[in-house]
Amino acid sequence: MSRFREELNVIPLAARAMAVVGYLGAVTAVGFMVKQADDGPWLFWAALAVFPPLFFASWILLIGYVNGDARRRGMRHVLWTLLAIFIPNAIGIILYFILREAPMKNCPKCGTPVRSGFGFCQACGAPIAQSCANCRGTIEPGWSHCPSCGKGLKAA
């Protein structure tokens, strides 16, 4: 499965259904407006019938993605969904993409989801990442010194 398809599967089914219903409702409303209009350029009415409802459905899908992705990352998904809805001009959605946390990892021992900054599993205590022998702070491969205590690390 492609990465794009995996990201689309994050959108909850309810958000997909609301986007479809919202799109069809908006197209129907614009269709009634077109029927009431006597004259005018048909291209204008065709664009009016397609683009605003498409924009509305895309906005609903983006809000659904924010909800599903925040839930997947262990963030406060209800709060982020409300911010995405009520902060105007899609600033809430933009803020989410700027401030979202890294994806959670699964513990290799018990499979519990663990936040990316954690060095140990909160359920079983198994090590998730390498840690400093002096202070037990999380380190990454290739570092020569621990960022928490400053002690030199052995080259592995």
Residue 112 has pLDDT above 70, yes or no: yes
User: Does residue 64 contact residue 11 with C-beta atoms inside 8 Å?
Assistant: yes
At 37, the pLDDT band (50, 70, 90 cuts) reads low
Q: Which residue has the tokens 């459905």?
A: 57
- Per domain, the residue ranges of the chain are 3-101, 102-156
Residue 156 has pLDDT above 50, yes or no: no
The model carries a pTM of: 0.74
At 87, the pLDDT band (50, 70, 90 cuts) reads very high
Maximum average pLDDT range among 19-23, 103-107, 111-115, 133-137: 19-23
Q: How far apart are CA 3 and CA 8, in angstroms?
A: 9
Helix axes 42-72, 91-99, angle to 10 degrees: 30
Q: What local confidence, expressed as pLDDT, does residue 38 receive? A: 59
Angstrom distances, CA of residue 133 to CA of 2, 83, 115, 117, 120: 40, 42, 21, 17, 14
